[in-house]
Amino acid sequence: MKEYWAIKNGGDRKSEDQNGPLKTLGDIAEYIGESQTNTKRLVKLNSLIPQLQKLVSAGVLGTTAAEQLAYRKECVNDKSI
């Protein structure tokens, strides 16, 4: 999700970005009509390994529990960090 929206963490905000203006989590939240808190949660859930994402989608694993798991290295997709 971060790659798709080109969300940047930190960085030099004074210089021009080659691929257009930098997007913040707030920009994305506004675009999708969610709060920044919910958008941050969605980004975190998106970093889970596919097996856990499927459990969340199926309703077997709750989003609160899944978000907590997303903070554990063994539950996170290395490519999404």
Distance CA 81, CA 74 (A): 12
Give the mean pLDDT of 60-80: 85
Quote the pLDDT of residue 81.
Answer: 42
Domain boundaries, the chain: 1-46, 48-81
Structure tokens at 41: 């949660």
pTM of the predicted protein model = 0.65
CA R_g for the chain: 14
List, for residues 17-63, the tens digit of each pLDDT value.
555 666 788 888 999 999 999 999 988 898 899 999 999 999 999 99
**Selection from 42, 55, 38, 52 nearest residue 4 by Cα:** 42
Task: Mark out the alpha helices in the chain (DSSP H runs).
Answer: 2-5, 25-32, 36-46, 50-58, 63-69
